[in-house]
Structure 1
Amino acid sequence: MIETLPLFHRIAGQPVVVLGMGEAAGAKRRLVERAGGIVVDDLQEGIDKGARLAFIAHEDDVAAEADAIRARCAGLLVNATDRPALCDFTVPSILDRSPVLVAIGTGGASAGLAKQLRLRLERILPQSLGALAASLGKARGALRLRFPDAGDRRRALDGALGDGGALDVLIEGGEDRVDAWLAGAAAPAADRVEIVLRSGDPEDLTLREARLLGSADVIAFEAGVPVQVLDQARADAQRMAIAGSAVPATGIGLTVVLRAPT
């Protein structure tokens, strides 16, 4: 189970309340401005203007709690610096490859840990990742014409963007290859893969097994397959419980059959 639901919130041109003085409040103001938001430093003014978010960075605990309660009662979502119990949301460490954003959060446990993870990923993800995303966005219409079926479209993209694919996300310059790939791309044939689990710990999945789970259209699973393993699959993948060796034919893209650990 995840403890928080990650969301990307559009605030460009919108009022956002930021209360407090000092370094923490200044950092929140810069963050809001970086995302195009309009900083409002008075809570009542923010409420009157229809703000939906409030960053509260008072040094005084009593003032922070009072403004957090007032903002929440007015319908705003609250982030209170260094006070997790007062927060409706936390601010992740952000890796920027616009329009690709990678947000790393720890639920308020350790901003330092989130930062170090971001710094490691900065070295791995190429600067051209944003350009690749923009190229795929421009090609969306052509992609739909090439693959009218949403499942075919997703599987074709999975193959192209994956390790060693024509548009491998970790290789610079993928944006220059989108048109050539699309011209010759074909929908992958339907396939079925069976995975016999070694244990109920998702950490014991091989890289290939984890990739297959993350790509599958259908997950057929025996009783005894832990929910922690099932959670490695796409949230929108079809799931079906099976008894014994009977696995219904689906005719849909990739089917992964999970056998319980013995």
Structure 2
Amino acid sequence: MQSLPVFLVLKGRAVILTGKGEAAEAKRRLLERVGAHIVGEDADAGIAIVADGDDATVARLKARGVLVNATDRPELCDFTLPAIIDREPVLIAIGTSGASAGLAKALRQRIEALLPQRLGTLAAALYDARAAIRARWPDASARRRAIDAGLSAGGLIDPLREDAADAVPRWLAEQGEAEPSRLVALRLLSGDPDELTLRAARLLGEADRIYHESRVPPAILDRARADAVRIPADAPPEAPGEGLSLWLEMPR
């Protein structure tokens, strides 16, 4: 991973925009959409978009410590602008580190077609229900597992269901206890993450901790949640801990 995706709150903040033409106007519309205060090159700002990719402008701004996006010049960019799927407050950003804006756009169009328009309403409903969710599951691990179960495919609040937001009160009332702690053993097909089964990929995304043989490559471990604990081991643990634990082993 060459870049760390972040979401910047730019409302009311100064952003330098230079250049003219269609590219500059597209960036202006985007900045106006998020409420940024658009300023010129000489203004005081922490980030800048150089819409004409001018080398000299980029050099001057970088010399001042400004983070720069240079349109169509990925080698000059400190950050890139992704293709965006907007289901406010849910935002999905798709980037290629500047390799191909066309590819990012194509992926956005494919993914956007899968996501209900009311996805943002579900996010808002879950936000409003935070106090009730904490009261229902006081333990943080149990709470996370219960939320995972509700949001899973076919769950009452499955994000791909149009009526998921309306189902939040019923989910709170009907959802049973969080799934008990367990250890799941997975024998990988190979060290290639593209050969992960759907089940293995799903479990990696849900697991609290990953016990694994030393031969399991980083490319596989990177498919797990970023906050999941990675624990090299010679054999499956006898006491894996609370929540979902995985034991990964390579093919013999």
TM normalised by structure 2 equals 0.96
Aligned to 1:206: 197
Which of residues 41, 44, 49 in structure 2 aligns to 1:43?
41
The runs of 4+ residues in structure 1 deviating greater than 3 Å are none
**CA deviation map 1:147-184 (0-9, x unaligned):** 22221111111111111111111110100011111123
**CA deviation map 1:168-205 (0-9, x unaligned):** 11110100011111123222111111000111111111
Is the Cα–Cα contact under 8 Å of residues 95 and 103 in structure 1 kept in the other structure? yes
**CA deviation map 1:117-164 (0-9, x unaligned):** 111112101001000001011111211122222211111111111111
Task: Give the aligned length.
Answer: 251
Q: What 5-or-longer segments of structure 1 have no aligned partner?
A: none
Which of residues 158, 162, 186 in structure 1 aligns to 2:152?
162
Letter in 1 for 2:33: R
Quote the RMSD (CA, aligned, Å). Answer: 1.2
Is the Cα–Cα contact under 8 Å of residues 52 and 77 in structure 1 kept in the other structure? yes
Which of residues 227, 241, 248 in structure 2 aligns to 1:236?
227
Task: Report sequence identity in percent.
Answer: 52
Q: Once the 2 structures are TM-superposed, how far is the Cα of residue 75 of structure 1 from its aligned partner?
A: 2.3
Is the Cα–Cα contact under 8 Å of residues 90 and 107 in structure 1 kept in the other structure? yes
Q: What 5-or-longer segments of structure 2 have no aligned partner?
A: none
Letter in 2 for 1:102: I
Distance 2:100 2:236 in 1: 46
Aligned to 1:65: 55
TM normalised by structure 1 equals 0.93
Q: Once the 2 structures are TM-superposed, how far is the Cα of residue 73 of structure 1 from its aligned partner?
A: 2.3
Q: Once the 2 structures are TM-superposed, how far is the Cα of residue 13 of structure 1 from its aligned partner?
A: 1.1
Q: Once the 2 structures are TM-superposed, how far is the Cα of residue 241 of structure 1 from its aligned partner?
A: 1.0
Distance 2:139 2:99 in 1: 42
Distance 2:55 2:62 in 1: 10
Q: Once the 2 structures are TM-superposed, how far is the Cα of residue 250 of structure 1 from its aligned partner?
A: 2.6
Aligned to 1:195: 186
Q: Tell me the secondary structure at the aligned position of residue 43 of structure 1.
A: coil
1:7 maps to 2:6:
yes
Q: Once the 2 structures are TM-superposed, how far is the Cα of residue 246 of structure 1 from its aligned partner?
A: 4.4
Distance 2:136 2:214 in 1: 39
Is the Cα–Cα contact under 8 Å of residues 183 and 240 in structure 2 kept in the other structure? no
Q: Once the 2 structures are TM-superposed, how far is the Cα of residue 248 of structure 1 from its aligned partner?
A: 4.1
Distance 2:77 2:241 in 1: 46
